Amino acid sequence: SIKEQTYIMVKPDGVQRGLVGEIIARFEKRGFKLVAMKLVHATPEHLEKHYADLKGKPFFPGLIKYMASGPVVGMVWEGLDAVKTGRAMLGATNPLASSPGTIRGDYALAVGRNICHGSDAVESAKKEIALWFPEGIIQYTNTNEGWIFE
């Protein structure tokens, strides 16, 4: 659906390394519509909810500490097949396995410092959007739409 939404987040290392604009630019240029965005220094409790599925993994404590170490930029992007396409634009979880041309494949080397997050399914996107944007997303018309979709 062209109304599919995904939660994309620049992690603390991406913010520190000045990659916020670069990551936004890729989603903008691809034709996705920005429907929510905020800079937030998340608490460990909030991040534990975001990563609830990974609780119990050996890297979980380190992941939460890293994610809470500085502000992140959370965004909701909308467009055709946004979840799957967003994941493809991010690249593989381990940047060493990410193709050049992907965000992780161009800017990261370590799995624990992979600079960005993207929802892995429509259902998890819905949960993540509700967690990070309880106030809701922004409804507006993008007048470019007729040039992006048939």
Alpha-carbon gap, residue 47 to 7, rounded angstroms: 14
Query: 40 by DSSP, 3-state: which?
Result: strand
Distance CA 116, CA 14 (A): 7
Task: Report residue 31: phi and psi, to 5°.
Answer: 115, 5
Q: Would residue 50 show up in a list of annotated catalytic residues for this protein?
A: no
From the number of C-beta atoms within 10 Å of its C-beta (0-12, 13-18, 19+), residue 70 rates as middle
Residues from 10 through 49 that contact ligand DAT (CB under 6 A): none
Tokens 């604009």 correspond to 21
Mask: binding to Mg ion, 99-138, rule CB under 5 A, as x and -? ---------------------x------------------
How near is the Cβ of 131 to ligand DAT at its closest, in Å?
14
Nearer to ligand DAT, 6 or 35 (CB): 6
Annotated binding site for ATP, which residues? 11, 59, 87, 93, 104, 114
Residue pair 20/115 in contact (Cβ under 8 Å)? The answer is no
5 belongs to the binding site for ligand DAT (CB under 6 A)? no
Among 34, 88, 111, 131, binds ligand DAT (CB under 6 A): 111
Q: From the CB of 64, what's the least distance to ligand DAT, in Å?
A: 10
Residues that bind Mg ion (CB under 5 A): 120
